[in-house]
Amino acid sequence: MEKKYLYNKQSHTLHIKGFCHYSKGVNDYIPFLSEDEAIASDGRASLCKFCQKARDKKLEEL
Ligand SMILES: [Zn+2]
């Protein structure tokens, strides 16, 4: 299973791979399998608002 959640521990922001420009070409992120896993690891983690929007949009299209 691909780890598609990328966590930036500096800004406490969780990104979804390919969902926003922040998640491209940066090697400093910690990969996670799910949002829950990232939050379990660091309670301050919150999903990036761009990624959240992109995810909501994808869910609507289903
Ligand atoms: Zn993002």
Domain range for 26: 5-61
How close is the Cα of 7 to the center of ligand 1, in Å? 9
Single-letter code of the amino acid located at 47: L
How close is the Cα of 5 to the center of ligand 1, in Å? 9
Taking only the tens place, the pLDDT of each residue in 5-47 is: 999 998 999 999 889 987 565 668 999 999 999 999 999 999 9
For 26, the token pair is: 């940066």
Please count the structural domains in the chain.
Answer: 1
This prediction's pTM: 0.84
For 17, the token pair is: 């791979």
Q: Given pLDDT bands bounded at 50, 70 and 90, which one contains residue 56?
A: very high
Q: Determine the Cα–Cα distance for residues 38 and 13; give it in Å rounded to an integer.
A: 10
How close is the Cα of 46 to the center of ligand 1, in Å? 10
